[in-house]
C-alpha cells in the first residue's frame, strides 16, 4: 500500500543494527551506526564501518535466498549477526581483496547459521539464538585466517599457552577513569574501544527502552566491580573487554527474555556475575588458538540462565519407561 520496497529493506537493515541490543527500532540502529562511524573517525580505520554496512545488507539480503519468514526479516532478526561479522573481520584481519570476499561470505553464512541455530535452540529448547551465529561463524573465519596466507592477521593472537595472572594492580582508579570504562563496556558490544561510541549506544537504547538502558548501565557496573574483585588483567578491564558480554547478559536476563521482577533481578545479577567468570574462562580456553571470545560468554550464560524458564523435573536416577536396549 504505497510502501516502497527499497525503503523497507533499509528499515529492516537498521532494525538489524538495533537488534544487537535487542531493540527492534530503526532509529536505535541509526545511533548504533553513528557509534561505529565515530570510532572509525577516531581510529582512522573506516573498514569497520564499511564492513558493518556490508554485513548488515548481505546478511539481511541472504534471508530472502533461504526463504526466511518475512516477519523475522522485517524485525531485523537476520541483520544483527551480520553486522557484527562485518565489524569483526576488518578489526582482526588486514584489509585486502580476499578479506572483503571473506567478509561477504561470512555475512551470508551468518544468516544460514541463524536459521540453523533457531531450529535447535529456539524450536527445540525455547531460547534465543542471539549472537551465537555471529560467534560461531566469526570463530571459523578467524581460525581459518591462521591457515590461509591470503588472509593476513592484523590484531589477534599470537596463540600461546595460558599463564596464571599473578598481579592485578588496581591500586587506584580515578572516578573519571571508571566512567570511561563503563562506557567502553557498552561500546565493546560492537567491538569498539571508544567511550564516546558507548554514549551514542546508550542514546540509541534510550530511544527505545528505558529499562534496557538501566540494565545496560547496571550490567556495566557489576562487570567492572567483579572484574576488579576477581583481579582480572587491568589492561583488558580498562579496554572494556570484561564488560561487553555482562552488559548483554544483564539486558537479556533482566529485561528482554524474562519478566522483570524481584526474583528475576537476583537471577539476572547472578547471570551477570557468571558472565564475568565465563569471560575469564574463555580467554584462557582460547589462548592456545589465538582468537577472541567475541560475545560467547554472554551467549553461554544467557542460554544457561534462560533455559530453566519452566518448572522442570530432572531425570530421576532410575531407568526411564522407554529404556529398551537388550530387554
Residue closer to its own copies, measured from CB, 175 or 316: 316
CA gyration radius, the chain = 20
Residue closer to its own copies, measured from CB, 141 or 250: 141
CB 42, min distance to its own copies, A: 28
CB 110, min distance to its own copies, A: 10
Within 13 Å of residue 270, how many CA atoms lie on the same side as its CB?
Answer: 9
Beta strands in the chain (DSSP E): none
Residue closer to its own copies, measured from CB, 41 or 152: 152
Contacts made by residues 204-208, CB under 8 angstroms, sequence distance 24+:
204/18, 204/21, 204/23, 204/27, 204/28, 204/29, 204/30, 204/31, 204/32, 204/35, 205/21, 205/23, 205/28, 207/23, 207/25, 207/27, 207/28, 207/31, 208/18, 208/23, 208/24, 208/25, 208/27, 208/28
Residue closer to its own copies, measured from CB, 37 or 283: 283
Task: Put residue 164 in one of left, alpha, beta given phi > 0 → left and psi -120 to 50 → alpha.
Answer: beta
DSSP code of residue 310:
S
CB 30, min distance to its own copies, A: 18
| Burial of 143: CB neighbours in 10 Å, binned 0-12, 13-18, 19+ | middle
CB 276, min distance to its own copies, A: 8
Backbone dihedral angles phi then psi of residue 153, each to the nearest 5 degrees: -85, 135
Residue closer to its own copies, measured from CB, 24 or 42: 24
Backbone dihedral angles phi then psi of residue 240, each to the nearest 5 degrees: 85, 10
Residue closer to its own copies, measured from CB, 13 or 258: 258
CB 309, min distance to its own copies, A: 5
CB 291, min distance to its own copies, A: 8
Residue closer to its own copies, measured from CB, 182 or 302: 302
> Between helices 132-147 and 296-306, what is the axis angle to 10°?
150
CB 141, min distance to its own copies, A: 7
Report the C-alpha gap between 74 and 79 in whole angstroms: 10
Is the backbone peptide bond immediately before 158 cis, with ω within 30 degrees of 0? yes
CB 158, min distance to its own copies, A: 8
Residue closer to its own copies, measured from CB, 10 or 140: 140
Amino acid at each position: 500500500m504505497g510502501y516502497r520496497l527499497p525503503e523497507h529493506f533499509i528499515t529492516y537493515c537498521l532494525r538489524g543494527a538495533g537488534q544487537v541490543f535487542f531493540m527492534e527500532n530503526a532509529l536505535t540502529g541509526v545511533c548504533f551506526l553513528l557509534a561505529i562511524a565515530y570510532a572509525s573517525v577516531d581510529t582512522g580505520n573506516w573498514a569497520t564501518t564499511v564492513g558493518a554496512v556490508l554485513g548488515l545488507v548481505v546478511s539481511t539480503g541472504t534471508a530472502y535466498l533461504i526463504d526466511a519468514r518475512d516477519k523475522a526479516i522485517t524485525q531485523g532478526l537476520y541483520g544483527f549477526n551480520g553486522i557484527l561479522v562485518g565489524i569483526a573481520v576488518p578489526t582482526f584481519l588486514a584489509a585486502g581483496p580476499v578479506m572483503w570476499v571473506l567478509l561477504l561470505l561470512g555475512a551470508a553464512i551468518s544468516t544460514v547459521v541463524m536459521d540453523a541455530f533457531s531450529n535447535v535452540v529456539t524450536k527445540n529448547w525455547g531460547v534465543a539464538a542471539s549472537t551465537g551465529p555471529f560467534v560461531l561463524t566469526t570463530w571459523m573465519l578467524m581460525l581459518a585466517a591462521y591457515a590461509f596466507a591470503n588472509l593476513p592477521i592484523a590484531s589477534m593472537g599470537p596463540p600461546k599457552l595460558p599463564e596464571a595472572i599473578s598481579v592485578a594492580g588496581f591500586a587506584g582508579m580515578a572516578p573519571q577513569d571508571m566512567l570511561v570504562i563503563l562506557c567502553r563496556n557498552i561500546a565493546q558490544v560492537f567491538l569498539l574501544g571508544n567511550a564516546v561510541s558507548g554514549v551514542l549506544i546508550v542514546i540509541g537504547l534510550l530511544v527505545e527502552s528505558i529499562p534496557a538502558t538501566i540494565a545496560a548501565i547496571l550490567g556495566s557496573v557489576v562487570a567492572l566491580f567483579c572484574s576488579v574483585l576477581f583481579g582480572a588483567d587491568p589492561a583488558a578491564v580498562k579496554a572494556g573487554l570484561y564488560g561487553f558480554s555482562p552488559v548483554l547478559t544483564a539486558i537479556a536476563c533482566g529485561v528482554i527474555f524474562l519478566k522483570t521482577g524481584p526474583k528475576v533481578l537476583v537471577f539476572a545479577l547472578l547471570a551477570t556475575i557468571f558472565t564475568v567468570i565465563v569471560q575469564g574462562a574463555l580467554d584462557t580456553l582460547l589462548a592456545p588458538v589465538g582468537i577472541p571470545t567475541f560475545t560467547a560468554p554472554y551467549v553461554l550464560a544467557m542460554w544457561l540462565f534462560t533455559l530453566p524458564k519452566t518448572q522442570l523435573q530432572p531425570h530421576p536416577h532410575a531407568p526411564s519407561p522407554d529404556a529398551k536396549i537388550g530387554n
